[in-house]
């Protein structure tokens, strides 16, 4: 069997010109404390890899192993993540006057969200580098995914999450054997606790964008979109943005594909969708500033969007602007209503983070930020089954044992 090698070369700071050895534990840039990004020897890889080489491999994300950071194939742990479907949602598109609207269904991933991608690669790299105990703050779904992959890899994990996180996340984390810590606060408070514990106990801190490899897993969504669109990228991609890792991943994937010469310079506009109760990126785009102010008392039912200040805020804002994209906030009420509408018209029942994009689309259309002929992709990051408490039962009748209606 052919062994596929990783072309990982080094780590590079997202904000300064510092570069760092990729084969030792790495968290932040030693010069300026910003995120580190993995870099690959793409010019060498481009000499022999063709787009068609990826076609015949297994559908999980390890098919992109050349541009992923795991050197030893034995460390590429998998639960079958990636290779998610992309399909049109024509009834809803018609209702809002769009001609081409797709959903990329990340709810099909292990643990029900796109967080599985970041966890697969992040945990695999931690295993490869000899780490034994990891720790992370989470809004919920990342904790579930990392717990599953750590169980698979035999690594210890400490997860710190707000005590009002959906209960399914708590159950998943515990069932998968991670140590769960609940905090009476936000994900930012959880992050401070994790940072202190990692310094004290020497655990590997795997907070969002404070280690370089989670984003490598997330970027595979960009490779898949390019393949699914036959290397002609769509015009617009909407992304429900909390910490923004997925959006940074998409941008990085497209950048790497362009360096390989597989796509042209046409980039989709990247549009960040946030909740009105926690929209730091939207505020910064509106104000035209380079970083985000932390939102005090951040609040939304879309728990994955409840990130008061993205750690890599400057990079995220640069990316949105460089694609001539934008950021938009929607209310929780509109999110729930539109999520139900799309479930009942299309059979597509998504997590509220993803449902927020359905609420954002009509406004983006009426503001002419999206035109009817644009090819638009919604990155549907999770499955609604994680959030059933948000949706009341309707269309219900209660029957007695003989089938007679008691309540309608
Ligand atoms: C379902 C879902 N969508 C979107 C997000 C936001 O992801 P990111 O941090 O990449 O912006 C999260 C984060 O927890 C999530 O769980
Ligand atoms: Zn730096």
CA distance 151 to 129: 17
Tally of CB atoms within 10 A around 397? 8
Which of 360, 158, 364 is closest to 275 using CA atoms?
Answer: 360
Which of 83, 121, 120, 118 is closest to 104 using CA atoms?
Answer: 83
Residue 40 has pLDDT above 70, yes or no: yes
Classify 125 as helix, strand or coil: helix
Alpha carbon nearest to ligand 1 atom 9, residue = 243
Residues pairing with 152 in the sheet: none
Residue 369 has which token pair? 């930020």
Classify 33 as helix, strand or coil: coil
Candidates 141, 215, 319: which one to mutate for ligand 1, based on the most atoms within 8 Å of Cβ? Answer: 141
Residues 6+ apart with CB under 8 A from 56: none
Measure 149 CA to ligand 1 centroid, in angstroms: 18
Residue 343, burial from CB neighbour count under 10 angstroms (0-12, 13-18, 19+): middle
Residue 393 has pLDDT above 90, yes or no: no
| Mean pLDDT across 216-222 | 98
Q: For residue 61, give Cα distances in angstroms to 12, 18, 116, 222, 281.
A: 23, 29, 10, 11, 29
Alpha carbon nearest to ligand 1 atom 15, residue = 304
Give the pLDDT confidence score for residue 9 in this predicted structure: 98
Which of 336, 358, 355 is closest to 95 using CA atoms?
Answer: 358
Task: Mean pLDDT check: name the lowest of 43-47, 67-71, 340-344, 394-398.
Answer: 394-398
Ligand 1, residue 140: give the atom nearest the CA: 14
Measure 398 CA to ligand 1 centroid, in angstroms: 37
Residue 250 has pLDDT above 70, yes or no: yes
In the chain, the domains with their CATH numbers are 86-111+215-390 (3.40.50.1100)
Alpha carbon nearest to ligand 1 atom 7, residue = 242
Give the pLDDT confidence score for residue 67 in this predicted structure: 98
Q: Are strands 236-240 and 269-275 parallel, antiparallel or unpaired?
A: parallel
Measure 103 CA to ligand 2 centroid, in angstroms: 36
Candidates 115, 137, 316: which one to mutate for ligand 1, based on the most atoms within 8 Å of Cβ? Answer: 115
Give the pLDDT confidence score for residue 392 in this predicted structure: 86
Query: What DSSP line would sit under 315-327, residue for residue?
Result: HHHHHHHHTT-EE
Candidates 104, 116, 139: which one to mutate for ligand 1, based on the most atoms within 8 Å of Cβ? Answer: 139
| Mean pLDDT across 124-142 | 97
Alpha carbon nearest to ligand 1 atom 16, residue = 304
Alpha carbon nearest to ligand 1 atom 10, residue = 245
Alpha carbon nearest to ligand 1 atom 5, residue = 304
| Mean pLDDT across 189-196 | 97
Give the pLDDT confidence score for residue 394 in this predicted structure: 85
Torsion, Cα 292 295 299 305, to 10 degrees, reads: 20
* pLDDT > 70 in the chain, percent: 100
Q: Structure pTM?
A: 0.97
CA distance 217 to 73: 15
Q: What is the mean pLDDT of the chain?
A: 96
CB 79 within 8 A of CB 153: no
Confidence of residue 3 (pLDDT cuts 50, 70, 90): confident
Measure 27 CA to ligand 2 centroid, in angstroms: 11
Ligand 1, residue 386: give the atom nearest the CA: 1
Q: For residue 163, give Cα distances in angstroms to 23, 88, 90, 197.
A: 36, 37, 39, 18
Classify 155 as helix, strand or coil: coil
Confidence of residue 407 (pLDDT cuts 50, 70, 90): confident
Closest ligand relative to 19 C-alpha: 2
DSSP state of 14: S
CA distance 126 to 35: 17
Write out pLDDT tens, residues 251-274.
999 999 999 999 999 999 999 999
Candidates 166, 186, 240, 312: which one to mutate for ligand 1, based on the most atoms within 8 Å of Cβ? Answer: 240
Confidence of residue 236 (pLDDT cuts 50, 70, 90): very high
Residue 132 has pLDDT above 90, yes or no: yes
Candidates 104, 105, 113, 222: which one to mutate for ligand 1, based on the most atoms within 8 Å of Cβ? Answer: 113
Report which secondary-structure segment, H or E, holds 45.
Answer: helix 42-45
Q: Are strands 405-407 and 398-399 parallel, antiparallel or unpaired?
A: antiparallel
Pocket, ligand 1, Cβ cutoff 6 A: 113, 115, 139, 141-142, 208, 240-246, 304, 351, 353, 381-382
Give the pLDDT confidence score for residue 141 in this predicted structure: 97
Ligand 1, residue 246: give the atom nearest the CA: 10
Measure 289 CA to ligand 2 centroid, in angstroms: 20
Task: Mean pLDDT check: name the lowest of 106-120, 227-241, 379-393.
Answer: 379-393
Residues constituting the chain: 408
Ligand 1, residue 138: give the atom nearest the CA: 14
Residue 1 has pLDDT above 70, yes or no: no
Residue 259, burial from CB neighbour count under 10 angstroms (0-12, 13-18, 19+): middle
Give the pLDDT confidence score for residue 274 in this predicted structure: 98
Closest ligand relative to 218 C-alpha: 1
Measure 45 CA to ligand 1 centroid, in angstroms: 31
| Mean pLDDT across 352-376 | 97
Closest ligand relative to 241 C-alpha: 1
Residue 372 has pLDDT above 90, yes or no: yes
Residue 165 has pLDDT above 70, yes or no: yes
């Amino acid at each position: 069997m052919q062994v596929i090698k990783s072309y990982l070369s080094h780590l590079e700071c997202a904000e300064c010109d510092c570069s760092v050895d990729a084969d030792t534990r790495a968290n932040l840039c030693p010069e300026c404390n910003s995120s580190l990004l993995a870099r690959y020897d793409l010019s060498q890889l481009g000499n022999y890899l063709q787009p068609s080489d990826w076609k015949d491999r297994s559908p999980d994300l390890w098919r992109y192993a050349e541009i992923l950071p795991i050197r030893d194939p034995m460390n590429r742990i998998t639960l079958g993540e990636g290779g998610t479907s992309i399909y049109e949602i024509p009834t809803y598109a018609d209702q809002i006057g769009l001609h081409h609207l797709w959903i990329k269904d990340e709810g099909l991933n292990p643990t029900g969200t796109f967080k599985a991608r970041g966890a697969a690669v992040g945990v695999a790299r931690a295993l490869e580098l000899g780490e034994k105990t990891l720790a992370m703050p989470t809004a919920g779904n990342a904790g579930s995914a990392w717990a599953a992959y750590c169980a698979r890899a035999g690594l210890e994990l400490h997860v710190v999450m707000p005590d009002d996180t959906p209960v399914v996340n708590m159950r998943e984390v515990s069932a998968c054997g991670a140590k769960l810590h609940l905090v009476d606060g936000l994900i930012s408070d959880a992050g401070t606790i994790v940072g202190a514990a990692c310094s004290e106990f020497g655990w590997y801190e795997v907070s969002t964008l404070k280690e370089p490899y989670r984003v490598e897993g997330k970027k595979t969504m960009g490779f898949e979109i390019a393949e699914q669109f036959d290397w002609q990228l769509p015009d617009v991609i909407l992304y429900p943005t909390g910490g923004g890792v997925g959006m940074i991943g998409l941008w990085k994937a497209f950048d790497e594909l362009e360096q390989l010469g597989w796509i042209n310079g046409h980039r989709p506009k990247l549009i960040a969708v946030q909740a009105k109760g926690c929209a730091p990126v939207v505020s910064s785009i509106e104000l035209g500033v380079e970083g985000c102010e932390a939102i005090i008392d951040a609040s939304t039912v879309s728990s994955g969007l409840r990130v008061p200040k993205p750690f890599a805020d400057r990079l995220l804002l640069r990316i949105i602007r460089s694609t001539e994209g934008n950021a938009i906030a929607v209310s929780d009420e509109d999110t729930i209503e539109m999520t139900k509408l799309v479930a009942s018209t299309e059979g597509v029942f998504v997590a509220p983070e993803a449902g927020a994009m359905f609420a954002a689309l009509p406004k983006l259309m009426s503001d002419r930020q999206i035109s009817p002929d644009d090819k638009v992709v919604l990155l549907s990051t999770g499955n609604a089954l994680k959030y059933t408490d948000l949706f009341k039962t309707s269309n219900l009748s209660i029957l007695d044992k003989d089938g007679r209606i008691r309540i309608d």
